[in-house]
Amino acid sequence: MRAVGLSLAVLLAAAITQLAVFLVSDSVALLTDVIHNGGDALTAIPLGIAFLLRSQRGERWAGYCVVAVVLASALLALVQVIERFIHPQTPTHLWALLVAGIVGVVGNEIAAVIRWRAGRKLSSPALIADGHHARADGYVSAGIIVSTVFIAVGVPVADPIIGLLISALILHTTWESWVTIRRG
């Protein structure tokens, strides 16, 4: 539980930093990454509720709420991305954008290591799987770095393209969570 809380705190700090950079740079790729990381942090809440209340019903309903929130925010992000394709706009504050990408990569990597260590100590396959997920999310955040480089060399369309890829990824994982909750 402590490992889960600690890794969440790291991810939350990374998400807040990224959100602040999004507000100044206006990068839609970063917006989708913030929503993805925030959504992942939220999906840990139902597990926490189930653990604390020992209630399966509570876990399921909390799960539905989280899926609804993540789905709504993913669709909202998708609208922004499509908007950006129609009305191209180059993100500003590229150095801050680069830092936001690095913060995402490092934050997810730290979360991955915390979960792997705890998972091995407790021999919990779920925690180890969460570790793998966090590392994969680090690669997603690396997309922000890639997008920043493309913007810097004069290809700003990379921003909505990366945003579109991340939006698709969020919608895919949201669908998977929904299927898991229904089955559970």
| Sign of the dihedral defined by the CA atoms of residues 70, 141, 15, 124, in that order | positive
What amino acid is encoded at 121 in this protein? K
DSSP assignment letter at 88 = -
Measured from the CB atom, is 26 or 40 closer to Zn ion? 40
Long-range contacts of 125-130 (CB under 8 A, 24+ apart): 127/3, 127/4, 130/4, 130/7
Measured from the CB atom, is 28 or 134 closer to Zn ion? 134
Is 130 near Zn ion (CB under 5 A)? Answer: no
Q: Cβ 157 to Zn ion, closest distance in Å?
A: 25
From CA 95, how far away is CA 101, in angstroms rounded? 10
Measured from the CB atom, is 11 or 96 closer to Zn ion? 11
Q: Cβ 66 to Zn ion, closest distance in Å?
A: 13
Q: Cβ 166 to Zn ion, closest distance in Å?
A: 10
Is 40 near Zn ion (CB under 5 A)? Answer: yes
Measured from the CB atom, is 40 or 159 closer to Zn ion? 40
DSSP assignment letter at 156 = T
Is 33 near Zn ion (CB under 5 A)? Answer: no
Among 26, 59, 130, 137, binds Zn ion (CB under 5 A): 137
| Sign of the dihedral defined by the CA atoms of residues 144, 135, 60, 6, in that order | negative
Residues that bind Zn ion (CB under 5 A): 40, 137
